């Protein structure tokens, strides 16, 4: 008998009744050149860097998300999400795809005003990135079903108006490199998700907005803001 009931965060798995139990959520910053430039950085000179969200920040596809507190600039970032399926540290790049269980479409919701303030003051990004309901995600599609998509349109629309429109082939650090590099910093385990960064076109959303997005060959996602 446990003192408290603490639910295990999880993500649907396409074609299965099983759930993918979420252990950690890693995210990469500035992984598409055009987005790095829109945020005022030169993408060519920066190695990948990582930040985290709590596991229970995941939100089921088709849900609504509450407009978060303490922000007036709540931004969408559509991203390819990698689901890790095997334990590994210091993984070689040419082995890294063997550690991937599947892929999903996610949104890295961001309190942009708090992030800009944190950058200016040299403070951590937790309040800007790791808040409640900040990680909506589609079902995971297994590598067995869809392989390892290296190209394909990635897009996001707000109230049917397309705001982000890129291609997975534009990733500065591809999935294999990103997983290999991350595994030099943390021991990867099944249940670890990696949000791989967003293409250009990030911007604000408001209560009442309907956000749709997708990645060709993977899935689509729909979230409303309440």
Give the footprint of Mn ion on this chain (CB under 5 A): 77, 108, 198
Which residue, 85 or 130, is less far from Mn ion as judged by CB? 130
Residue 5 tokens read as 């009931």
C-alpha span between 37 and 200 (Å, rounded): 8
Instruction: Supply the minimum distance, in Å, between the C-beta of residue 35 and Mn ion.
Output: 8
Instruction: Supply the minimum distance, in Å, between the C-beta of residue 19 and Mn ion.
Output: 24
Q: How many CA atoms, within 13 angstroms, populate the side-chain half-sphere of residue 211? A: 35
What sections of 32-174 are H helices per DSSP? 33-38, 112-121, 126-129, 143-146
Strands 24-29 and 192-195 turn out to be parallel
What sections of the chain are H helices per DSSP? 33-38, 112-121, 126-129, 143-146, 175-182
Which residue, 108 or 181, is less far from Mn ion as judged by CB? 108
Instruction: Supply the minimum distance, in Å, between the C-beta of residue 195 and Mn ion.
Output: 6
Instruction: Supply the minimum distance, in Å, between the C-beta of residue 27 and Mn ion.
Output: 5
C-alpha span between 74 and 192 (Å, rounded): 25
CB-closest chain residue to Mn ion: 108
Instruction: Supply the minimum distance, in Å, between the C-beta of residue 117 and Mn ion.
Output: 17
C-alpha span between 48 and 55 (Å, rounded): 21
Which residue, 77 or 181, is less far from Mn ion as judged by CB? 77
């Amino acid at each position: 008998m446990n003192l408290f009931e603490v639910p295990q965060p999880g993500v649907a798995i396409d074609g299965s009744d099983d759930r993918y139990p979420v252990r950690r959520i890693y995210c990469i910053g500035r992984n598409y050149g055009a987005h790095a430039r829109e945020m005022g950085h030169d993408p060519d000179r920066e190695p990948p860097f990582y930040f985290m969200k709590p596991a229970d920040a995941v939100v089921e596809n088709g849900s609504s998300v509450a407009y978060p507190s303490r922000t007036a600039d709540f931004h969408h970032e559509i991203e390819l999400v990698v689901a890790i399926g095997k334990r590994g540290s210091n993984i070689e790049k040419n082995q890294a795809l063997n550690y991937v269980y599947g892929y999903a479409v996610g949104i890295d919701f961001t309190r942009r005003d708090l992030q800009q303030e944190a950058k200016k003051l040299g403070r951590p990004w937790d309040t800007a990135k790791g808040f409640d309901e900040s990680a909506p995600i589609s079902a995971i599609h297994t590598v067995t079903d869809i392989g390892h998509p290296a190209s394909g349109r990635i897009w996001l629309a707000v109230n049917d108006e397309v705001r982000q429109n890129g291609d997975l082939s534009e990733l500065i650090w591809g999935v294999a490199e990103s997983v290999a590099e991350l595994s030099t910093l943390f021991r990867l385990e099944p249940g670890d998700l990696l949000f791989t960064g967003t293409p250009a076109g990030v911007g604000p959303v408001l209560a009442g907005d309907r956000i749709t997005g997708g990645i060709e060959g993977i899935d689509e996602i729909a979230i409303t803001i309440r």
